[in-house]
Amino acid sequence: MKPREIKKGIYCVGAIDWDRRLFDSLIPLPDGTSYNAYLIKGSKKTALIDTVDPPMKDVLLDNLDQLGIKRIDYVIFNHAEPDHSGSIREVLTKYPEAKAVCTPRCKDMLIDRFLVAEDRFQTVEDKETISLGNRTLEFIHAPWVHWPETMLTYLREDKILFPCDFFGSHIATTDMYVRDIGQEYEAAKRYWAEIMMPFRLQIQKNLDKIKDYKIDIIAPSHGPMHDKPQFIIDAYHMWAFDEPGNIVVIPYISMHGSTRCMVAHLVETLSRKGVTVKQFDLAVSDIGKLAISLVDAATIVIGTPTVLTGPHPNVAYAAFLANAIKPKAKFASIIGSYGWGTKAVEQLAAMIPNLKVEILTPVIIKGYPEEADFQALDKLADTIAAKHKEAGLK
Ligand code: FEO
């Protein structure tokens, strides 16, 4: 898109990536994404906040040309990941007077990754400011949002927070501001689950750090901006601080129907006990939807058949992912089947050391489930419902 004015002298100059469907060759992007960059003109100096993913660098450079920008004094790098910093060499070449402004740790990472000359950098400490004349940029160090070098930039006079990935969402849209609240909530929650949730405790501290700033607009570097920022701040507080809900998530695979039959029985029994259940057949599910469901789940029940004595590889992948993104679940169990022998429980249990969960007695059966097996599943459902009640989960 061409440059768009947020207010006098402040422009969106980044790129919308409508067609991207995978990030990091891992994360599904059903709604595309954007790499937002912002140009701020002060009475004396001009700053660019973030750049764009390298394949879209021409969009950024053309937008700066269209605005007639001949000189940039500061290019602010809130974060070293290439989707925001990858055009650093092109931007610094086009604007030779520009200083790359970032945290000391970000400087090292940008030099390592992009081989930029050290004398192009100006590092900033936490709460340090740079004056653009009639406008002031304040830098707020925010480590582990979601890399160790990250910072946020606050434009004081205009009360705009530029937090890069923080509060972002992978959405390609022509809306400058969030207008489709439902789409934004799901996309932001997906973003939280996949990117931010592993650092939930550090993010709690960073949320606390910005609580006294007056913020009229949040301008993240993915997705639309927030002109009603309390919506996303409240959502982050809920995801970061609140207890999980009275929710069970069941990711599973079934090869010949036994595990599917067990899952169906458990889902039915739990839901009759007032527990919300979300089941995901890992053969067909969007792994991002599973990640979203893990944000609020109190219990994870993994369903697997036995393949070569262990869990099905798709189940192992989901367990590995759940372990990596560190949801706040309190309980876990395993259900499934085998033909002649299995070590699926031992192998899966060893794959989730990051989950601080109480393991509830697994239900592993030989062949197709019979009456005694359904009773064992009922007992598991009783235990889950009782544990949720005891923990006061709603
Ligand atoms: Fe959008 Fe961590 O990069």
CATH number at residue 209: 3.60.15.10
Map 196-257 to HEC letters: HHHHHHHHHHHHHHCCCCCCCEECCCCCCEECCCHHHHHHHHHHHHCCCCCEEEEEECCCCC
Domain match, 255 and 210 both: no
Establish if 31 belongs to a structural domain: yes
**pLDDT tops 90 at residue 319:** yes
Any residues with CB less than 8 A from the CB of 141 and at least 6 apart, and which?
A: 103, 125, 126, 150, 151
Q: From 241, 257, 277, give the residue that closes a domain.
A: 241
Establish if 36 belongs to a structural domain: yes
How far is 116 from 110, CA to CA, in rounded Å? 7
Domain match, 234 and 336 both: no
Query: 0.85 cut: is pTM over it?
Result: yes
Domain match, 305 and 156 both: no
Token digits of residue 4: 């768009």
Expressed in angstroms and rounded, the spacing between residue 275 Cα and the centre of ligand 1 is 35
Domain match, 216 and 255 both: no
159-216: per-residue pLDDT in tens? 999 999 999 999 999 999 999 999 999 999 999 999 999 999 999 999 999 999 999 9
How do 74-76 and 46-49 pair as beta strands?
parallel
Name the strand (E) or helix (H) holding 85.
Answer: helix 82-85
Q: From 203, 223, 241, give the residue that closes a domain.
A: 241
Domain match, 228 and 253 both: no
Instruction: State the residue range of the domain holding 12.
Output: 4-241
Q: From 195, 215, 241, give the residue that closes a domain.
A: 241
**pLDDT tops 90 at residue 132:** yes
Domain match, 162 and 296 both: no
Domain match, 201 and 254 both: no
Question: What does 54-83 look like in DSSP terms, one character per residue?
Answer: GGGHHHHHHHHHHTT----SEEE-S--SHH
CA angle 107, 110, 116 (to 5 degrees): 100
Total domain count for the chain? 2
Expressed in angstroms and rounded, the spacing between residue 52 Cα and the centre of ligand 1 is 10
Domain match, 109 and 74 both: yes
Domain match, 169 and 277 both: no
Q: What is the mean pLDDT of the chain?
A: 97
Q: Is 50 in the pocket of ligand 1 (CB under 6 A)?
A: no
Establish if 393 belongs to a structural domain: no
What's the one-letter identity of residue 73? D
Expressed in angstroms and rounded, the spacing between residue 171 Cα and the centre of ligand 1 is 14
How far is 24 from 28, CA to CA, in rounded Å? 9
Expressed in angstroms and rounded, the spacing between residue 79 Cα and the centre of ligand 1 is 7
Establish if 392 belongs to a structural domain: no
Q: Is 170 in the pocket of ligand 1 (CB under 6 A)?
A: no
Q: Is 165 in the pocket of ligand 1 (CB under 6 A)?
A: yes
Q: Which residue has the tokens 């262990």?
A: 310
Phi-psi region of 9 (alpha: psi -120 to 50; beta: other; left: phi over 0): left
- CATH number of domain containing 254: 3.40.50.360
Domain match, 311 and 366 both: yes
96-115: per-residue pLDDT in tens? 999 999 999 999 999 999 99
**pLDDT tops 90 at residue 376:** yes
Please report the atom of ligand 1 found closest to the CA of residue 35.
1
Nearest CA to ligand 1 atom 3: 81
Q: What is the CA 362 to chain-centroid distance, rounded?
A: 31
Over residues 247-276, the mean pLDDT reads: 98
How far is 101 from 14, CA to CA, in rounded Å? 18
Domain match, 235 and 262 both: no
